[in-house]
Amino acid sequence: MDLKKIIPNDDLSIYEGGIEALGRFRPAMIFWQLEAVAEKYKFSLKDPIAEIPERAWQVVLNGSDESFRLKNTPLGSQSNYLLRFDGVLNYLRQIQQAKENTKTKTKNGTDSQYQKTAVCPECEGKRLKKEALHFLIHDKNIADISLMEISVLKAWFSNLETHLSSKQQKIAAEILKEIRTRIDFLMDVGLDYLSLSRPTRSLSGGESQRIRLATQIGSQLVNVLYILDEPSIGLHQRDNHRLIQSLKQLRDAGNSVIVVEHDKDMIVEADYIIDMGPKAGKHGGEVVAVGSLNDVLQSNSLTAQYLCGRMQVAIPEQRRKGNGTFLRLLGAAGNNLKQVSVDFPLGCLIGVTGVSGSGKSTLINETLQPILSQKFYRSNKAPLAYEKVEGIEHIDKIIEVDQSPLGRTPRSNPATYTKLFDDIRKLYEQLPESKIRAYKAGRFSFNVKGGRCEACGGAGLKTIEMNFLPDVYVPCDECHGKRYNRETLEVRYKGKSIADVLELTIEEGLTFFEHIPSIKNKLKTLNDVGVGYLTLGQQSTTLSGGESQRIKLAAELAKKDTGKTLYVLDEPTTGLHFEDIRVLMDVIQKLVDRGNTVVIIEHNLDVIKMMDYLIDMGPEGGARGGQIVAVGTPEEVMENPDSYTGKYLKEYLSESVALAECTQIR
C-alpha cells in the first residue's frame, strides 16, 4: 500500500478526509471503529493526522489484537459492543480483494490506485529462493547473468571455458553452443541493450516482434512463409541494416519473407515490391506497381515519387526559436537515465531522438509526462526518480496523442469521438418531422433507448461469445446494421436518415453539410489530417493505429486552446506512408503555430529533419545510454560527431542515389 497516495496531505484530519481512500467522515463502521481507537489513545478524529501520536497512528494503519468499545453501531449506541480493529490498510486490501473477485480483470490488471509495485524484500527482485542462488558459475548465479545486458552476456559467455574444469567443459560444450547462437540472434536484430530478465510488458511492439524474429531465425526452419508487420518500429537507422540482414538470413535459408513496411531502406532492399493504392480507403485497394525496385520506380505511384525524390517531406524554411520560456527537468534518474537535466523550449516542435534503448521513453513517458499529469489531472501514475521540474507555470495542460484505439467496442467511431455526432443529432432534432413527433436529440443516439434498435442495443452488431477465442460480431438481423428502429429512420435531412449519414465518408460529409458551419468545421479538420476516406460511423475497432492518432489530433485541433498546451507523441509515424507523414506533420505544425509545444519521440528522419529543436539521447542503448548527447536544431546536431542521429540525418539529407537512379531510368 502506498501511504503517499492514501494520505496525500497529513495536515488534514481524518474527519476532513485526510485518509483520501476513506473520504470525509460519515456514518460507517470504519469511522465508528476509528472513533473507538481515538478515544482509547487520547486523540480526536478532528486532529491533523501529523499530530496523531506515533503509536496510535500505527494502530490506525495496521490495527491491533486488542478489542475496542464502539459508541456507535448500526443498531445505535451500545456501550458493550466490542470489536477488534484490523487497520485502514487491511480494510483497503479487503475492498480491493472484493473488487478482484467480482470484476473481470482489465488490461491494466487489478492493482488498486492506492497500491504500488515494490521490489520483493526477500529475494531483492531476483525471483529465486536463496538456495537456488548459491549455485555459481564463474562467480555468477543465474539471477546475475539474467540481469546482464545481452552485449555484456555475450562477452561473459565468450571466454567462459577458461573458468571451467575439463569435465565441466565436456558437459557444457553443446549447451554453450546453443546459448551463444541464441545470443547472436538477439544481437543481430538490434536488441543488445536488453537483459534476459526484462519483463515482456515493458517491451515496445517493435522489440517484441524482433524477439520473435530472433526465435524464428534460431529455429533453422526452411520452406516457411514469414509475415512481418512493420518490424522497423522503434528501430534507429543505425540498427536498421542489422534487421534487414536478419531477414535476408531467413530468405537465404530457403524461406519466403513478406514484410508490410513503409521504411525506405527496407523497400529499397526488397527483392520484389507490391505497391498498393493509389490512395487510402475506397480510393485504394488496387495494386499500382509490382516487381523490382526499378520496376516500381518507373511507375507513377506515390511510393515511387517519394523514393526517387520527385515528392518529399519538405524542410521548414526557418526553425522556430520558441516563446522564450522553458520547461526544465532536473536530475532524472529512472531506469538507465544518469541524472539527466534537460530544457524543453516552449512554443517549439521538439524531437527526442536516439538509438533504441537510449532512454527516450523513460525521460518523456515515464518521467516528464507523469509529473505533469499529476500536476494537472491528479493522475495516479507515479513518475520515475527525478530531483525537480521548473517552468510548469508556463503550460496549462498536457495531452498524450497516442495510437491506442479510440474505443474498445464497435460503438465508438470518428463521429462520436470528435463530438461531431452531437451536432448532427441536434440538427436532426430541429427538422420539422422531429418537431411534429416531439423527437429530441437523444432519439438519434444509438446509445439511448427510444430511437435505437433494441434487438442489438444500437450496436448494429450482435456479439457471439467464443470460449477461449476473441468475440465474433455479426450484423443485427433486425436493423441490418443500421442501429435505429424504423420510426427514427423515417426522419430525413436532404433525403438521408441518421443511419445514412453515418455511412457517409468524411469527404462526402463536407459537401453534404456545407451549409452547417458547426458540423462542416469539424469535418474539415478531420479531412485535413488525411482521414477523409473514413466513414463517420466506422467502428473504431477497425481503425489502424495511425488513423486513430490522426482522429485524436483532429479532435484537439477542433478545440479552442489557450496556446499553452504540451502535446506528447511517441513514434507517431508507425504505420504511415511518406504521404501520410507529410499530412501528419502539416497538422502538427498547425498546433505549434498556435503557440503550443509538441514533443515527439521519433526515429523517422523525415520527421526529425522538420524539428525546431532536437534532444538526442545515447550514446548507446541500455546501461551505455541514458545521457544527453546533443541538443539544438537539426543542423547543430548534425555537426556533433558523437551523435548517431546527426550522422544518419546528414547522410539522409545529402543522399542523391535514389534521385540519380530515378533520373537515369526516366
What DSSP string runs through 287-332? EEEEESHHHHHTS--HHHHHHTTSS--PPPSS-----S-EEEEEEE
- Strands 286-291, 340-345: pairing is unpaired
- Strands 461-464, 349-354: pairing is unpaired
**pLDDT average per 10 residues of sequence, the chain (666 residues):** 85 89 86 88 90 91 85 58 84 80 45 76 90 93 93 92 92 93 86 88 76 81 90 82 86 94 92 93 91 92 90 90 95 93 96 91 94 88 92 93 80 91 95 95 92 91 83 89 94 95 94 94 91 91 84 85 88 87 90 94 93 94 90 95 93 64 48
The whole-angstrom separation of Cα 588 and Cα 320 is: 14
CA distances from 568 to 335, 398, 544, 574 (A): 20, 8, 19, 15
Query: CB–CB of 631/342 below 8 Å?
Result: yes
Cell of 636: 547543430
The whole-angstrom separation of Cα 198 and Cα 195 is: 5
CATH architecture observed for domain 326-404+557-665: 3-Layer(aba) Sandwich (3.40)
Looking up cell 426522419, which residue turns up?
491
Cell of 207: 522489440
Residue spans of the domains in the chain: they are 3-102, 326-404+557-665, 414-542
Closest CA to 274 of 252, 305, 251, 295: 295
At 108 the pLDDT is 37
Phi-psi region of 599 (alpha: psi -120 to 50; beta: other; left: phi over 0): beta
The whole-angstrom separation of Cα 177 and Cα 414 is: 54
Query: CB–CB of 281/534 below 8 Å?
Result: yes
The residues with which 329 forms a beta bridge, in sequence order, are: 342, 389
Give the alpha-carbon dihedral of 597, 603, 608, 614, to 10 degrees.
Answer: 60
The whole-angstrom separation of Cα 62 and Cα 69 is: 18
The whole-angstrom separation of Cα 304 and Cα 299 is: 7
The residues with which 617 forms a beta bridge, in sequence order, are: 354, 628
Query: CB–CB of 467/473 below 8 Å?
Result: no
What is the maximal distance between C-alpha atoms in the chain?
99
Give the orientation angle of helix 29-40 with respect to helix 88-102, to 10 degrees. Answer: 160
CATH superfamily for domain 414-542: ABC transporter ATPase  like domain (1.20.1580.10)
Amino acid at residue number 452: R
At 663 the pLDDT is 46
Amino acid at residue number 339: Q
At 93 the pLDDT is 85
CA distances from 163 to 138, 140, 178 (A): 6, 12, 19
What DSSP string runs through 83-145? EE---HHHHHHHHHHHHHHHS--BTTBS--TT------TTTTT--S-TTGGG--BTTB-HHHH
The whole-angstrom separation of Cα 33 and Cα 300 is: 78
At 109 the pLDDT is 38
| Burial environment of residue 606 by CB neighbours within 10 A (0 to 12, 13 to 18, 19 or more) | buried
The whole-angstrom separation of Cα 400 and Cα 410 is: 23
For residues 489-519, b (16+ Cβ closer than 10 Å) or e, as one string?
Answer: bebebeeebbbbbbebbbbbbbebbeeeeeb
The CATH code of domain 3-102 reads 1.10.8.280
The whole-angstrom separation of Cα 337 and Cα 624 is: 10
Query: CB–CB of 155/162 below 8 Å?
Result: no
Cα of 28 vs its chain's centroid, Å: 40
The whole-angstrom separation of Cα 615 and Cα 371 is: 19
The residues with which 630 forms a beta bridge, in sequence order, are: 616
